[in-house]
Amino acid sequence: MSNLAVNRNFRRRGVAEDLVKAAEELARREWGYNECYLYVEKQNVPAVKLYRKLGYRPIWEDDSAKTLLPTESGKVKNVSTTIVCMKKRVGGLRSIFPF
């Protein structure tokens, strides 16, 4: 998954959760994948919590990543961030019984 964003006016209503579940279903049913991966900035605590709640687990972090942030003048600046790669099994019995 890439670039999941929900307008502030619609947050805390389950929209992001529904979008993630729809993407997982598409990957599993239509494309035959049994795992989903995503990247999230570690500082985006609400997103990390959501993904953990949905069964994603971190597999690695990159603390040398960069991201773009808007400035008050309307420009963007390149700043350091930590990216977390998370993974979830979405198909087969191992998604239910991961042992």
Read off the tokens for 62: 């990159």
Closest CA to 50 of 26, 28, 18: 18
pLDDT-based confidence at 69, cuts 50/70/90?
A: very high
Q: What is the mean pLDDT of the chain?
A: 91
Distances (CA, A) of 46 to 7, 73, 93, 99: 14, 27, 29, 28
Residue 96: per-residue pLDDT: 52
pLDDT-based confidence at 91, cuts 50/70/90?
A: confident
Residue 2: per-residue pLDDT: 78
- Rounded to whole angstroms, how far apart are CA atoms 39 and 4? 10
Please tell me the pTM assigned to this model: 0.83
Q: Centre a 10 Å sphere on the Cβ of residue 56 and count the other Cβ atoms it contains.
A: 23
**For 41-67, how does the pLDDT look when each residue is reduced to its tens digit (9 = 90+)?**
999 999 999 999 999 999 999 999 999
